[in-house]
Structure 1
Amino acid sequence: MIDPIHIIIAFAICSVIGLPSYKMNVVDFSGLLSGYIVGMGVILFTDLKWFVLIFMFFFLSGAATKYKYDQKKKKGVAQGKKGARGYLNVFGNGLVALSFAVFEGVIGGEVFLAGYLAAIASATSDTAGGEIGRLSKHKPRLITNFKEVPTGSEGAISILGETAEFLIALFIGVLAFGMGMDHGTNAIIVATLGGFIGANIDSVLGATVETNVQWWGNNWTNFISTLLGAIAGVGIYYLL
């Protein structure tokens, strides 16, 4: 049974982060509520170290979205609603990580940490790296055929964006390692490779499925790419 004090602490932590973010238009109201679900779930089923990682996704993604927002708006590639993220975006990027956190709390095992790390790294590198990539001075290329496409096109990649995605995934792994979360999971390798793979799967899905299937939106792309990135991370964990 979960201690009520633990629930109060989890709620307080999420409030300290979530309410100012709502005021600063980083999330809308639905994003705030869904953030409570994901954030509190991670805290209640694991510990604060796991929460720090999903907080870094939230912080880096929000910061990258707001960074040079007006410049991206002029290009026509800025996130809508002044950059505020809603519940679909929160769940699309955070549901896989939350699932691994729940599995860790209920079952336990290093494999769930590996999946969690890769899921967080995938979501963070794709969202934050993609926002940085939109600021590239060079035209991006479609990941499937490397032809030049307009900035903001689904499936578009750039050297700046790819570099940012790799470094962000690496950062997540280094952070986990620095907090002592490794425990044999080879956190840096799992997060870096799993995250980078997931971010590029997102681009492939964007270039193929998202542009051709009417009901398939960006949030489905986020969810599936994060899931596959996590699976890749688990596979890498077993190979190491």
Structure 2
Amino acid sequence: MGSKREVLTQEYIKMMTDMIVLCVTLALSLFFWVVSLTMSAVSGNLQPVSPWRWLFSILVPLMLTARALRRRSLDRSGALAALLVGFVLTMANYSFFSALLAFFITSSRLTRWGAAKKKKIDADYKEGGQRNWVQVFCNGGAPTELALLYMIEVGPGEIPIDFSNQYSASWMSLSLLGALACSAGDTWASEVGPVLSETPPRLITTWKEVPAGTNGGVTPVGLVASFLGGAAVGVAYFVTQLVTVSDLHLADPQWPIVVYGGVAGLLGSVLDSFLGAHMQYSGFDASIGKVVSSESATTQRICGKPILDNNAVNLFSSVLIALFLPGMAWGAWPR
């Protein structure tokens, strides 16, 4: 009888908590809407943002981060950082949000996939991923800054990629998509390659065989996975454009977004491997039989120097892709 009461009490507390969160979210949405109306009236040239957009931008990232926290895809600091990144990207453009969602969901699922084999390879493997705020910002920091610049340029809303009419906004949109696709491609390569590859990885700088888990090691399976990971982010962006942009037929063709995402994922993974081979230490620790990223008396160096960690390499790769790849797309984009 006592256990039944405890279960009912827990369900009641959960229901009340959900109601409180919903009420707070509604209040925040209305508050931000009033602020938006006030700023629009004062400046005279800003369009007020719909309260429903505020509500969606707060409520949906909140629900997703809470679920990720329960599933241990994020720790508490990572959940707070992801909530901020999700809010900014959702407010700026729903296509940004869907691209972020595609990256996060696929990466989280692939991290859990093949866990038994990854534990034998990765000395730092964590159950479920457990990404912290540093990892979240290294993957989502550049897209967040680009989303803020996008809102300053054109305001919150969905517009097509169209260099003829929206040059700056199109450039920033492709930069953001490239950064997310780069992160997705690298994650897909590092999560799929060790599980499915039947051959040892080769160091990207020398093409010599190295143990699985070596920074800078690549496999054909991993490279294909990196392209598919970036393309998955591009597909999410493209589909959202089809659903939310009414005058899409008046702009440049949008289907290259998918190809662009795939190329960003592949190039981002290759760039990440190249930086990792040079600037991340990899050594084989004979005491545990795994590749590690720090020197000790029982490790034998494989490659790299202890200059950057994995988070810094991810950040540099995504920033470089965001900076340079849109320029290549601008010249090749069909009109």
- Is the TM value for this pair above 0.5? yes
Given the alignment, which residue of 183, 187, 192 partners 2:257?
187
Q: Residue 54 of structure 1 aligns with which residue?
A: 100
Structure-2 separation of matches of 1:2 and 1:105? 15
Structure 2 matches for 1:109-120, cutoff 5 A? 109-120=169-180
Cα offset, 1:137, TM superposition: 2.5
Counterpart of 1:232?
Answer: 324
- Displacement of 1:194 in angstroms is 2.3
Alignment of 1:1-240 (within 5 A): 3=33, 5=51, 6-44=53-91, 46-76=92-122, 79-80=125-126, 82-108=128-154, 109-135=169-195, 136-180=197-241, 183-184=251-252, 186-211=256-281, 212-240=304-332
Range that drifts further, 190-199 or 112-121: 190-199
Change (3 A) 1:79 1:8: farther
Q: In the aligned structure 1, how far is the partner of 2:137 from the partner of 2:234?
A: 22
AA aligned opposite 1:162 = L
How far apart, in 2, do the equivalents of 1:215 and 1:193 lie? Answer: 28
Q: Please list the CA deviations of residues 61-105 of structure 1 after superposition, one character each: whole Å capped at 9, or x if unmatched.
A: 111101111221123366335521111111111111112211111
Q: Alignment partner of 1:79: what SS?
A: coil
Whole-angstrom distance in 2 between the partners of 1:129 and 1:214: 22
**Aligned residue identity for 1:194:** A
- Judge which range, 59-68 or 101-110, deviates more: 101-110
Cα deviation for residue 177 of structure 1 reads: 2.4
Q: Deviations over 1:115-172 (max 9, x none)?
A: 1111111011111221111212221111111111111110111111111011121222
In the superposition, the TM-score normalised over structure 2's length comes to 0.66
Higher relative contact order (CA 8 A, sep 6+): 1
List alignment gaps of at least 5 residues for structure 1.
Answer: none
Q: Answer whether contact 1:197 1:232 (CA < 8 A) is retained.
A: no
Over 3 Å counting, the alpha-carbon distance change for 1:82 and 1:62 in structure 2 is: closer
What per-residue deviation string (whole Å, max 9, x for no partner) do you get for residues 175-213 of structure 1? 322332685363123222223211211111110012244
CA RMSD of aligned residues (A): 2.1
Paired positions, count: 239
Any conservation in 2 of the 1:170–1:188 contact (CA below 8 Å)?
yes
Note if contact 1:191-1:233 (Cα within 8 Å) is conserved in structure 2: no
In our comparison, the structure showing a higher alpha carbon Rg is 2
Q: Does the 8 A contact of 1:132 with 1:161 survive in 2?
A: yes
Identity %: 26
Please say which of residues 198-207 and 67-76 is displaced more in the overlay. Answer: 67-76
Matches of 1:80 and 1:238, distance apart in 2: 40
Q: What is the deviation of 1:173? A: 2.1
In the superposition, the TM-score normalised over structure 1's length comes to: 0.91
2: CA distance between counterparts of 1:214 and 1:76? 18
